[in-house]
Amino acid sequence: MGLPIFVGQGYFQPIFQSYPAKATDNNMNKPLNLSAELVPVAYAVALLDLAEELGVSRQALFAAARVRPEVMDSPNGRLSFIDFNLLASAALLHCNEPALGLRLGPRLNLSSHGILGYAVLSSANLERALQFALKYYRVLGLAFELEQVDDNGRVQLRASETMPLGALGRFAAESLLASLYSITRFLVGEELQGVEVGFAYPAPSYAERYVEAFGVAPVFEQPFHWLSLPTSYLARPMALANPATVQMCQQQCEALLATLDIQDGLLVRVRRLLLARPGDFPDLDSAARALHTSGRSLRRHLAAMGTTYQEVLDDVRKRLALQYLTTTHLPLHEVAFLLGFSDPSNFRRAFKKWTGKLPSDYRNGGS
């Protein structure tokens, strides 16, 4: 649950989805369709309502975004990525609210998510609700890949960007996790206890406002975004459990996945390839062969998404570095080796470029 990523600062940042269709050669050659109507209109309604409360009228937002108001009358209840992205970008520019994502997330409630929301509400318990959401969240057009990890009495929902999002990633992550938190609290029917939350980016200037949104202070500069709860919540029964409704919703979600213009994200495939070979990362041509395409084609597709193979590789290395430094006691020269650096000094320079800190300072919590 949450919302898709949008464009900003005057140019379109192509969105490549994380839908796990079979990885075929046809997928590689299939152009990304930014006009595909995947974004629920309810997301735009929530955004427009919030903007009005912040002093930006709907008319002004439509004008600033150069989007026709008629797009809200979509017969299938969905917007194109282009239209929603323009509206969201304009809202960020004109609402004068840095924590816009934290404020939007709680408004993206179960009803905002359409058929998926009804299925979650009708599930037998929170565990079944999560299982359904993780299986079908792709019908919402998220630019995140979601994963559930159970460990040591806790359940953690992880969200990883399926493409480099730059400055826009913070807004999207705030909205996503704030929506997940508020929905979980609604389903449980009480204030959540033992919540933990983390974000992949550095703490923003308004970090204290995260406590208002989540009830706890989050940790920042994590390998990915995450929300964690005690596993005891998973067995909580739902007051409106209805197996027949869940079955009906499942059929409709399957139909949506079959009819919407959905493809396996190239960036997801590239990242999975790199993560499968830590310390022995392939060069571009080798990666292309593993993905059953040519180096030239892979370079062209990545360029169309506003990135390069080196940037994707650096992002994977950065994520792994953060994970090694925060979860292991490996010496820095071994971390460097695991990341494919033959010289630890090259790793130190790269890490300083990625984070503004030296690896030793990051591990020790210094600056």
Write down the mean pLDDT value for the chain: 81
For residues 136 and 184, state if they share a domain. Answer: yes
| CA distances to 52, 71, 82, 262, 304 from 36, in Å | 27, 13, 9, 9, 17
For residues 229 and 282, state if they share a domain. Answer: no
Cα–Cα dist 320/326, whole Å: 10
For residues 93 and 209, state if they share a domain. Answer: yes
- Of 201, 225, 259, the residue that ends a domain is 259
For residues 94 and 165, state if they share a domain. Answer: yes
- Of 198, 231, 259, the residue that ends a domain is 259
Structure tokens at 124: 């037998």
Residue 20 placed within a domain? no
Instruction: Please tell me which of 107-111, 166-170, 178-182, 310-314 the model is most confident about, judged by mean pLDDT.
Output: 178-182
Residue 348 placed within a domain? yes
pLDDT of the residue at 271: 81
3-state secondary structure of 1: coil
Question: Using 50, 70 and 90 to split pLDDT, how confident is the model at 40?
Answer: confident
Number of domains in the chain: 2
Tell me the whole-structure pTM to 2 decimals.
0.69
Burial of 146 (0-12, 13-18, 19+ CB in 10 A): buried
CATH number of the domain to which 356 belongs: 1.10.10.60
For residues 37 and 147, state if they share a domain. Answer: yes
Note the pLDDT tens digit of each residue in 307-349.
Answer: 889 988 988 888 888 888 887 788 898 888 888 888 899 999 9
Residue 252 placed within a domain? yes
- Of 204, 235, 259, the residue that ends a domain is 259
Cα–Cα dist 47/54, whole Å: 11
What domain range includes position 114?
A: 25-259
| Short-list 13, 40, 2, CA closest to 159 | 2
pLDDT of the residue at 33: 43
Q: Report the relative pairing of strands 37-40 and 78-80 from DSSP bridges.
A: antiparallel
Eight-class DSSP state of 216: S
243-259 vs 114-122: helix axis angle to the nearest 10? Answer: 150
